[in-house]
Structure 1
Amino acid sequence: MQYVMPIVIGVLYALLMSLIREPHRRRFNAIMVAGAGAAYLSNGAGLGGWEFAFAALATYVAYRGLDSWTFIGIGWLLHTAWDIVHHLKGSPLIPFFHDSSLGCAICDPVIALWCLRGGPSPRELLTSARVVRQNP
């Protein structure tokens, strides 16, 4: 369950975000990437100045994501890498939940894949699946 729930959460995130109409969906997700980039700043996660450097990088990527789903996907993949560093270092995202960074590292690539596909709505996903099935 520890590995399944983060995937479910990532899928639910994508489904809920797909309810927001474009272009607001892309912009809102860019803001979410910026927030995720700063998530470790407030919990004293123990990487010192590197926390600020990562937050600055995530902010830049999020800014570029205002106009690009690809940058939003890259932002989630960068956050995945940062989650892995925190999980291995032993400084979790949620201080009282030891494996929270691991869960985040599993969830974030699911979101990234959705973003790298252009943040499609469920209808767009189904349409593209039908096209692929019809033209193998």
Structure 2
Amino acid sequence: MDLPALLQDTVATLAPALPYLYEGAKETGKGFAKKTGEAAFDQAVKLWNWLKPKAEATPALQSAVADLAEQPEDADLQASLRVQLKKLLTDQPALVGELQALIQVSTTQTTTQNVVGDGNVVSGRDTHLRDMNNQA
């Protein structure tokens, strides 16, 4: 897996659960796990356990995590965390293998998006678009 894809998968897995994990609200996270699935939440917990000590040791990474925990759907904040993770992995290449091993468990996901209206843009990694007549 290339680095950009690894970073994308890591942030996509971690971001939705980060508000529950960052503040240590694992009990609240149990309700979140019921919505997203236990496996997805467990994967986010594993990633957080890997990332937390590194974030605590790196102020810029800590700041990116804190900001994203406040607004997990903000694309700019997700990008900020990807940048900080990239810096971490570039500075410590041995961590790439660790992160790849953690993220490989969750790389197969299916997301369904229902888009209504004209002029919409749907994006994502390996996105396949299909209109109502199955033409795309």
TM-score of the superposition, structure 1-length normalised?
0.37
TM normalised by structure 2 equals 0.37
Q: Greater share of helix residues, 1 or 2?
A: 1
